[in-house]
Amino acid sequence: MSKNKKTAASETVSEGTSSGNLALEVEGLDVDAIMERIKARVEERRAEGVYRDLPLLELEEERTGGGEAEVSLDPLHELIFLIQLARQYAEVTSHYPIGARRSPLGPFILVSKKAIRRFMTPYMDALFAKQREFNAQCLRSMETFLEMIKRERERSYHGGLDRYAAWVELGFAADETEQLQEAARRFPEGRPIVQLYSGTGDFLAAAAGEGRPAVGVEEDPRLVKMGQDRDLKVVQARPLDYLESQPLESLQAVFVQDLGERGDSRELLWMVTALADRLEKGGMVVALNHHPRSVLGVEEAFGDPTLLRLVHPETMRGLFERAGFREVEMSVTGEFAQAEKKGWKKKLGGVAIESGDLAELLFAPRRYLLKARR
């Protein structure tokens, strides 16, 4: 450092000292000598192998042990990225850019390449057509898989309040033994019944009491165990997957409770269509659903937090008729008993609702039964 620089530094420090700040006495320090010592130390450390000047690629290879760097991606995000990439390459075509080297023969080579491509285009298009079809099918499969992942992930984001938690842990399960017995009696004796979404097994027990053999299909392992502990026959499987795995026209009788009232609403149409395909000719479906015309029945129904919607009986009838069921019958069940009516009148402040349109609206039957024959 020159003498002028040292003087300036000394003056700056002196000003700091006069203002009351902590100051470092630098007068007499040889900065050039210090820098030389630092450079010498760096060279010594480099010679010892502590400091290494390597290109970034070599440093990355050393960090990853010679393999590819692992990047942790969410499977859903990774699938979305792969689908976007697949879309770019799914369309195979012979119309790709043609070039030639810069040389005296370059223009002639370019013309020759274009002529050959024009001659080969019909054959290449015929070959690429199958490749494009295969790529499109693969892309559709990936997109379907993506929708499945999104759907399952959406289901897992409901806070864990599933049917087991609502019915068993929180006690929201309703006693509907009479309605279930009536539903079981709708099936002819001797026909094996398959109940989809068998839950705690109440219908299976009611069917056994009515002399109807039945097997339940349930995806929740806790509910499956509850049914099996009651000596009921329950298969652990996702009902939609179970239906899809059955041969066409192989089932004789199917019972579904709360059809379309839980889960994805889009599954309702798929379920009805699958039932039409898997039932044999003359096979029967019975569905027990909440009646939307019963005001107090609806109020009770939505006490169950897993219930998402109600399906109007005429809507249900239209879906089954559209799917090809030749006989669709509707009836109501779950009448309010006199004691229940008195309890509701007390809750409503003693309003006089003995008869008339208001009573009919409030105390309409809780449930409706659909019986459809294939």
**Which domain CATH number covers 169?**
3.40.50.150
Examine the domain organization and report whether 280 and 141 are in the same domain.
Answer: no
Cα(292)–Cα(312) distance, integer angstroms: 6
Examine the domain organization and report whether 123 and 181 are in the same domain.
Answer: no
In a domain, 15, yes or no: no
Laid out side by side, the sheet with 279-290 consists of 234-236, 214-218, 193-196, 251-257, 279-290, 367-373, 327-333
Cα(86)–Cα(137) distance, integer angstroms: 11
Q: How far is CA 113 from CA 39, 74, 261, in A?
A: 61, 45, 64
Q: Which helix (H) or strand (E) holds 63?
A: helix 56-63
pTM of the model: 0.59
Examine the domain organization and report whether 317 and 175 are in the same domain.
Answer: yes
Examine the domain organization and report whether 150 and 189 are in the same domain.
Answer: no
Per the structure block, which two tokens stand in for 371?
A: 């019986």
In a domain, 12, yes or no: no
In a domain, 65, yes or no: no
The per-residue pLDDT for 17 is 45
The per-residue pLDDT for 20 is 46
Number of domains in the chain: 2
Examine the domain organization and report whether 129 and 208 are in the same domain.
Answer: no
The per-residue pLDDT for 183 is 97
Cα(198)–Cα(217) distance, integer angstroms: 6
Alpha-carbon dihedral angle through residues 190, 192, 195, 200, given to the nearest 10 degrees: 70
Boundary residue ending a domain (156, 171, 188):
156
Examine the domain organization and report whether 274 and 220 are in the same domain.
Answer: yes
Examine the domain organization and report whether 228 and 344 are in the same domain.
Answer: yes
Beta strands in the chain (DSSP E): 193-196, 214-218, 234-236, 251-257, 279-290, 327-333, 367-373
Boundary residue ending a domain (135, 156, 177):
156
The per-residue pLDDT for 281 is 94
In a domain, 354, yes or no: yes
The per-residue pLDDT for 15 is 46
Examine the domain organization and report whether 107 and 245 are in the same domain.
Answer: no
In a domain, 25, yes or no: no
Per the structure block, which two tokens stand in for 274?
A: 């699958």
Examine the domain organization and report whether 119 and 197 are in the same domain.
Answer: no
Contact, 214 vs 171, CB < 8 A?
no
Per the structure block, which two tokens stand in for 204?
A: 């299976």
Examine the domain organization and report whether 151 and 168 are in the same domain.
Answer: no
The domain containing residue 89 runs over which residues? Answer: 75-156
In a domain, 203, yes or no: yes
In a domain, 237, yes or no: yes
Examine the domain organization and report whether 94 and 134 are in the same domain.
Answer: yes
Boundary residue ending a domain (156, 181, 202):
156
Examine the domain organization and report whether 291 and 168 are in the same domain.
Answer: yes
Find the distance separating the first CA and the last CA of the chain, reported in whole Å: 101
Per the structure block, which two tokens stand in for 20?
A: 């009351």
In a domain, 117, yes or no: yes
- The pLDDT tens digits along the chain (374 residues) read 444 544 444 444 444 444 444 454 556 677 788 888 888 888 887 777 766 666 666 666 665 665 554 444 567 777 787 888 888 777 777 666 666 666 677 777 777 777 887 777 787 777 788 888 888 888 888 888 888 777 776 665 544 578 998 999 889 988 999 999 999 999 999 899 999 999 999 999 999 999 999 999 999 999 999 999 999 999 999 999 999 999 999 999 999 999 999 988 888 999 999 999 999 999 999 999 999 999 889 999 999 999 999 999 999 999 999 999 999 999 999 998 888 878 877 777 766 666 667 777 788 999 999 999 99
